[in-house]
Amino acid sequence: MKKINVRNIFLALGILGFSAAFVFAGELVEKGKGYTIYAKTNLDANSLVILSKITDTKLEIIDTVIISENGVFNFEGMAADESLLYYITFGTTQPPGIPVVLENGTRLNMNVTKDDSYNVEMTGGKYNSQMLKLFKIYTGYENKMAAFNNEVAKIDPASATEELRAETSARYNTLMQGRSTDIQNFIANEEASPATYFAIKYLFNQPEPKLVILGSKVMSAQLPNSSYTKNLVTLANSYGPTIEGAMAPEINLKTPEGNTLALSSLRGKVVLIDFWASWCGPCRKENPNVKRIYDKYKDKGFEIYGVSLDNNGDQWKAAIAKDGLGWKHVSDLGGWKSSAAQLYQVHSIPQTFLLDKEGRIIKSGFRSHELETLLQDLLD
């Protein structure tokens, strides 16, 4: 549903508000023992700058400062946990912002300029050179995606030909594949650091299993005692049943009519497992695209097995009718506690899994642009 935009990478994180207890660490630090951030910027004087620590569930505000009249801001503090990820934002905790690694006893020098996006140079600390490389990779693709989205917005869907749709889909997939490849190369070839964890955990709608597994191996070899390494190893070990190439675990839930429909009953067809819900705005926005693709390929051996994370059966059925979704639907009306969602480790929706005719997982975590290209290769 979403345009792929790195500015949205933290929208899923809960943010602690300004009522949180700030740690004004600069008052507590013995000179030279903690961290220092010194930055020059072209942003407006007297603007608010926020330093937050990144955790797996939220951004925790650590300190705030104001940009001086001569375009300078600085933070001083003591990092309770050294070599962890932090995030600098401007005016609000919402993205866009700048990820950094803070280490006690180091000074991070930054130059931050803003035009259409942030341009950053920074030196200092053991790991920020890797973070800067990663920052330039993903902001480069963000700019490319913004240009692509602007072009797509000018296309009239009613008059778009199949050729134009296919060309647009191919361009989108090329961009996304290039982004994934460049990030994978970064993980494989750069020295392991908190930037490795950031790349895997926060630059995708859901962490890609192959990158989690790669990152866990790289970080285990180089940073075996890091909390980030332990998190990746735990996540990698949890993938078992839903990793690409594995047989899709069985789902056997009730249809809107009250009958039971097993996923395995669709063997012999290419099947899209689509986790969604009536209350999920991104899912509903994606439905017209999925419906168009379904209509194109349903007679060529393609089926959709929609798994709803609704709690309310009437709302689930009404959404199916309103959106005209003519494929297979099941749910246990368990919401996020749905047995299927837990089995497939679904933590955000929409979430997708494409199965081959034998029931093996070909790919997961994609949107309709990529689905169409995959089906062209499999069924055309």
Look at the domain 252-379 and name its fold.
Answer: Glutaredoxin (3.40.30)
Q: pLDDT at position 57, please?
A: 66
pLDDT (mean) for 93-111: 88
Q: Which pairs count as long-range contacts for 336-341, CB under 8 Å and 24+ apart, including other chains?
A: 336/309, 338/307, 338/309, 339/253, 340/251, 340/253, 340/275, 340/307, 341/275, 341/307, 341/309
Q: pLDDT at position 17, please?
A: 30
Q: Which neighbouring-strand residues pair with 86? A: 53, 100
pLDDT (mean) for 349-358: 93
Look at the domain 6-122 and name its fold.
Answer: Immunoglobulin-like (2.60.40)
In this predicted structure, the answer to whether residue 12 has a pLDDT above a threshold of 50 is: no
Q: Could you please report the per-residue DSSP string of 1-65?
A: -----GGGTTTTSEE--TTS----GGGTPPTTTSEEEEEEE-SPTT-EEEEEEE-SSEEEEEEEE
Q: What's the rounded Cα separation, in Å, for the pair 316 and 338?
A: 14
Q: What's the rounded Cα separation, in Å, for the pair 208 and 201?
A: 9
In this predicted structure, the answer to whether residue 43 has a pLDDT above a threshold of 50 is: yes
Q: What is the pLDDT of residues 292-333, one digit of tens each?
A: 999 999 999 999 999 999 999 999 999 999 999 999 999 999
- Residue 21 has a CB neighbour count (10 Å cut-off) of 8
pLDDT (mean) for 95-118: 86
Pairing of strands 58-66, 14-15: parallel
Q: Which neighbouring-strand residues pair with 15? A: 59
pLDDT (mean) for 197-218: 83
Q: pLDDT at position 134, please?
A: 92
Q: pLDDT at position 82, please?
A: 65
Structure-model confidence comparison of residues 237 and 171, the more confident one: 171
**Residue extents of the structural domains in the chain:** 6-122, 135-238, 252-379
3-state secondary structure of 362: strand
Please name the residues in contact with 371: beta carbons below 8 A apart, sequence gap of 6 or more.
272, 290, 293, 352, 354
Residue where the block lists tokens 């801001």:
73
Q: What is the pLDDT of residues 49-63, one digit of tens each?
A: 999 998 776 788 999
pLDDT (mean) for 122-140: 90
3-state secondary structure of 335: helix
Fold agreement (6-122, 252-379): no
Q: Find out whether 351 and 365 touch, Cβ atoms under 8 Å.
A: yes
Q: pLDDT at position 246, please?
A: 77
